[in-house]
């Protein structure tokens, strides 16, 4: 077993999904997820979404690094955070609001449930 794992989409077939239709507020966002690691409540890989807007409710902790695109994460209190290439954030459990993809967005993610 290697102790290092490169984060790449190469050689991994993506899981294709869409948000629950009841949560979609605009567009028809399509999500592509390249899962690289799933172990003991830890998940990491790459995620990409096409434009659209949907409701979110985080029960887990997530670290994200944005490779490309432009999204807006808006909390229930109305505060908006623009996510663009080069940005990295921690999303804490309890965040509710919306995720809006303005330009197809690609991110690395590490989720701890």
Helix and strand counts by DSSP (H, E) for the chain: 0, 9
Q: How far is CA 47 from CA 2, 50, 77, 87, in A?
A: 23, 10, 26, 15
Report all structural domains of the chain as residue ranges with CATH numbers, in order of start.
24-112 (2.60.120.10)
Tokens of 35: 């899962």
Contact 53, 101 (CB under 8 A): yes
What's the half-sphere exposure (Cβ side, CA atoms, 13 Å) at 82?
Answer: 6
What string of pLDDT tens digits covers the 113 residues of the chain? 689 989 999 999 999 999 999 999 999 999 999 999 999 999 999 999 999 999 999 999 999 999 999 999 999 999 999 999 999 999 999 999 999 999 999 999 999 99
Q: Of 59, 86, 54, 57, which Cα lies nearest the Cα of 72?
A: 54
Res 2: pLDDT: 83
Res 15: pLDDT: 98
Tokens of 10: 């190469």
Residues present in the chain in total = 113
The model scores a pTM over 0.85: yes
Spatial distance between the Cα atoms of 110 and 112, rounded to a whole number of angstroms:
7
């Amino acid at each position: 077993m290697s102790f290092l794992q490169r984060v790449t989409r190469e050689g991994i077939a993506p899981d294709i999904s869409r948000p629950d239709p009841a949560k979609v507020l605009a567009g028809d966002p399509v999500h592509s997820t390249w899962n690289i690691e799933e172990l003991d409540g830890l998940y990491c890989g790459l995620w990409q979404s096409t434009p659209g807007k949907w409701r979110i409710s985080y029960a887990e902790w997530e670290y994200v690094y944005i490779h490309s695109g432009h999204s807006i994460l808006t909390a229930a209190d109305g505060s908006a955070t623009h996510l663009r290439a080069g940005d990295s954030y921690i999303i804490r459990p309890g965040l509710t609001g919306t995720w809006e993809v303005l330009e197809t967005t690609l991110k690395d993610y590490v989720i701890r449930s």
